[in-house]
A and B are shown apart, each in its own frame.
Chain A
């Protein structure tokens, strides 16, 4: 597709369950970012992938959060033992180059932990 695709678009899960969120970046984009946006709040950086380099995980809020990316393709964000405070929209963005180009964001996955 022409844009960044995220799935599922909505996810409701019970507290304590694990969830996996998926991001399909634009083909050829070497950089991929995950952000979190709580209701009415700004975007929080979570993790960054650039090509085959080690990811920058400095924004992950706890060890319950992890992410993987296979080469320059699909990325998955996993949240283990979900808590109610994990409820948010999780946004993925990709870019050709992390320094000079703008990001293209997906529409996000709205996660609700009940």
Chain B
């Protein structure tokens, strides 16, 4: 019962921007949109999260559609180190405990070409 849909894979060129899409058409009003990434042979790494407004941090930007049914993770300038699996996850803050747990899907495997 995956709540988000992401492309299986994407390719990017080094030093170019990357837009990673995520569809979440059944999102509820209390679902936060979280993004994590997992580099090869490492644990997942938190990237960014948001509720309604676009968010920026040192790693990336998160653009959230006005109807909240989709979002886009933006890497402004891809580097080889950004090659990873990117996970888009919804997390309902109305639930305590592991009902508000992060449920990881298959994510998008991003390849970055030199």
Contacts and interface: CB of A to CB of B under 8 A. Distances in A.
Interface in A54-91: 56, 58-59, 91
Prevailing SS type, chain B contact patch: loop
Interface in B70-114: 91, 93, 96-98, 100-107
14 contacts: A33-B102, A48-B97, A48-B101, A56-B97, A56-B98, A58-B98, A98-B96, A98-B100, A99-B93, A102-B36, A103-B44, A105-B44, A107-B43, A108-B43
Interface of A: 4, 33, 35, 42-43, 45, 48, 50, 53, 56, 58-59, 91, 93, 98-100, 102-108
A104 B104 CA distance: 15
B45 interface: yes
Nearest to A99: B93
Contact of B105 (A35, A42, A45, A50): A42
Interface in B22-50: 32, 34, 36, 42-46, 49
Contacts of B45: 105
Interface of B: 32, 34, 36, 42-46, 49, 91, 93, 96-98, 100-107
Given A4-B43, A100-B93, 14 more contacts: A33-B98, A42-B104, A42-B105, A42-B107, A43-B44, A53-B97, A56-B97, A56-B98, A91-B44, A93-B44, A98-B100, A99-B93, A103-B102, A107-B42
A106 B43 contact: yes
Contacts of A103: 36, 44, 46, 102
